[in-house]
Amino acid sequence: MKTVLITGFEPFAGAAINPSLEAVQQLEGREISGGIIRTAIVPVVHQKSIDAVLKAIDEIKPDIVLLIGQAAGRTGITPERIAINIDDFRIPDNDSIQVIDEPVIEDGPAAYFASLPIKAMVKAMGEAGVVSSISNTAGTFVCNHLFYGVMHALRETAVKAGFIHIPLIPAQNITGEQASMPLECIVRGLEICAATALSIEDDVVIVGGQIA
């Protein structure tokens, strides 16, 4: 049986909730077609985030790695296409570290593309009624930092990996003016992503681009 490692971040920036953590806690041990889901919690801290995931990979030895983080303002689940080699933290992380205009990996390539079938994942989620789309930017905070660092570490392995941003959940939408998605819908979407990553070798060729 194959294994999918799904990671979620702890809360950050003074928040009490991070939907990626809430979703991951519901997915631990869940069996899907062709595999089982294992999970890990990630600190929202510069290098510690990468170290935590690489430790989990070493212990669990997964076939697939899905890194999950929240993206306030997004209306759907958004698999990321690319990680870039830059840290430019708009706010400090949970250890009060604020890295500005520094590479994630010194002398690393400019970017890494996700090795997941991200368009097939979006297609499968859409067919299940889960709002989703391709994202072409993972930002420049800890999400992108982790995405790039893990892809760099796995670059010569057979492990497929990538990052998925999810919306806020209703409990975080205090003002009623922010986009959100029910937690159960997020959990369902991530389960679909995991199952798709296990079953699809070559991504589908469908439109997923943006003009700007």
Q: Is position 111 within any domain?
A: yes
pLDDT at 206: 85
Q: Does residue 56 belong to any structural domain of this protein?
A: yes
**By the 8 A CB rule, do 29 and 38 touch?**
yes
DSSP state of 34: T
Instruction: Confirm whether 212 is domain-assigned.
Output: no
165: which residues sit within 8 A by CB, 6+ positions away?
68, 69, 70, 71, 74, 77, 78, 80, 135, 138, 143
Could you list the residue range(s) of the whole structural domain that residue 152 is in? 2-199
Q: What is the pLDDT of residues 136-166, one digit of tens each?
A: 999 999 999 999 999 999 999 999 999 999 9
Average pLDDT score, the chain: 95
**pTM beyond 0.85, yes or no:** yes
Residue 205 counted as domain residue: no
Model confidence pLDDT, tens digit, residues 48-107: 999 999 999 999 999 999 999 999 999 999 999 999 999 999 999 999 999 999 999 999
User: Which are the catalytic amino acids?
Assistant: 80, 143, 165
Let me know if residue 191 belongs to a domain.
yes
Examine residue 117 and state whether it is found in any structural domain, yes or no. Answer: yes
128 assigned to some structural domain: yes
Whether 182 maps to a domain, the answer reads: yes
Q: What is the pLDDT of residue 90?
A: 96
pLDDT band of residue 175 (cuts 50, 70, 90) is confident
Q: How many domains, in total, are found in the chain? A: 1
The full DSSP string for 109-128 is -SEEE--S-HHHHHHHHHHT
Whichever domain contains 193, its CATH number is 3.40.630.20
| Other residues' Cβ atoms within 10 Å of the Cβ of residue 112 | 23
